[in-house]
A and B are shown apart, each in its own frame.
Chain A
Amino acid sequence: MLALRLARGAHPLVLLRRLLVATASAGVGFLLLSALTHALSHPGESSSSLLRLSWCLIPLAATVQFAVAVARTDPSTRPRTGLSAVGLGPGRLAVLAAVSTTLSATLGSMVALLFFLHLRGDLTGLPFDGAAAELLAADQPLPLAAALILLTLAPLTATAAAALALRPRTAEPAPDALPKPPAAPGGLPWGCALTAAGLAVGTYAARVKGGATVQLPGELDAHPLGVLLGWALTAVGLAVAGPALTHFCGRLLQTRRPGGVRLIAGRILMAEARRIGRPLGVLCAVASAAIAAWALYDAGPGPFGPLTGLGATLVIACTTATLLTAVTDARYARSTAVQGLRELGAPAKSFRLAAGLRTLVLLLVFAPLTWAVATLAAAPLTG
């Protein structure tokens, strides 16, 4: 009840973020139910249905990542001295965050079920009812238990991940203690190694004929399994290297005698390397996969179907939203320092300039990287 009461007084932006979690969860629920209907209408092709189901794991992972980011930045679940004084410490607040996540994700799943039944033609009275009756196997009865299990998948994983990510680990810092700046993130060697290995595996697998093959969703010709493994390795490598690259960008900003604005912008980027770098690396990996896939579908026989489109949109939207949420969180975390700078008379313009500089340097480093990885990953498939 407290979670609901706190949600009622929350800022519209916070509510919007939760609504986005619900939407993402609805999308995943719909995709999972569609995979179920494929299994219902093609009883003989269990391996193909299983493949469809496993492709749904990527949107599910993106949704869970986004839900955790939202739970982490939710102001109503941040440790507050006032609530701590009445006995609502960090442990209880983690529970509260998990409950909020469950609420929004479950809401999304319910909407997904209603929409699914509506498109199947089971619920009537609205426009488009039964519009996708054939695709969604309307002639077969829906197995209730299977549908419910699939629908609870997103809320359950999101809740578990949020509770795990927010569990209180260390003792609370004293209120007047300054936060210790985190050490420089490692992971650049590992990231580079994984990315390089992924590209090598992909290229090698594309040349070898007669191995295990996997079909991309919505596409007819199969690709060697090794190519997809290579892609996955590359994506993991980029995500691992993200924080270290962000840290490097911060260092890059302050080269050659920085003035006040460049100094602050660079140091802030270095301090936030962990917070922003990870989602940025994931987004970079997703973007490079999207570019490579685009090149692939462009070279292939036809455009992809609506479900593949939904899944891809979901993944891209979730990773982008996760990055934006992390940026908002970082902004909140330095609000005290900004207040101090305002007292010194630092103009509002300089903060905007610093933010612009950070965005620019990140773009300059990450955009060519994404493009290069995408080109290299797509080369063996299209060439």
Chain B
Amino acid sequence: MTLVIGAFTIGFILSLLALGMLISFRIQRYCDITVDGSITLGASTAAVLLVHGWSPWAATLVACLAGSAAGAVTGLLHTKFRIQELLSGILTMTALYSINLRVMGRSNVPLLDVPTLADGPEKLLRKLAGGAEALNVAGWAVPTRDLAMLLTVFVAVAAVAIALRFFLLTHLGTIIRAAGENAQMARAQGADDKRMLVFGLAVSNALVALAGAMLAQYQGFADVQMGIGMMVWGLASIIIGEALTGKCSPGMAIVGAIMGTILFRLLIAIALRWGLDPNDLKLVTAAFVFAALVLPSWFGRLGRRIFGGRHA
């Protein structure tokens, strides 16, 4: 049961990463590599501020702002200085590695006995449960603290998802989506597509940093290496989500990204339980994303060949 609770908690946290990447990769069609750096930036910023006695709310908020600044830098490198899409992300990501070390002062910051976002919900749960250390969930004893964390991240994801869904249907959200798909058309409608891109990348990386801040509070530490491969994980989640709900409306894409992340985490949890070496995780993930990107067209071609359809 702990495994399931853990998978869900990490799943919800990384849903924020997936939602952030949904904005950059899918809505803006911008291949933003900043993600690997900005998730660590969120974690390190939050961790350091918490260690310095900041309230978890304030620390998390500042982490988000830091993330959005990172996203904006990538956007400006691309729009103002005309640096290629991937390269702008790589530059920011590389710079962020040093910045993260500077922020933390060392490569790892443990969060022992500092307040976290889950403290409030935990108090609430204990009050409801009469001070119990663990609650009975479907016959399993689950630590109150774990439940509180799950509840916190769920509320956070739900709030972000709902806000994002409504934002995408506003006038501003609509033109941002249009600018992602067809910048020429957006300009013809009077939209500054460059500013849209910078804005979108800022929002996207704020969400990614939020995921980092929560991950640090959940894991109890921030590590300078923790961002490596996060982009590919996020991408895997989005791809699974699209397989689940399709690409149609913004609402469904959001739900899909969340469901995809959780499903992906569950699969990983199960795989680890069956004895997958954690060191191989990233290889497996990369292979999965490769398959998800390549197989559909490969199967399509195979199908045409087998069923004697027309050759493209």
Q: Do A and B come from one complex?
A: no
Give B contacts to A, CB under 8 Å. Answer: none
Chain A interface residues toward B at CB < 8 A: none
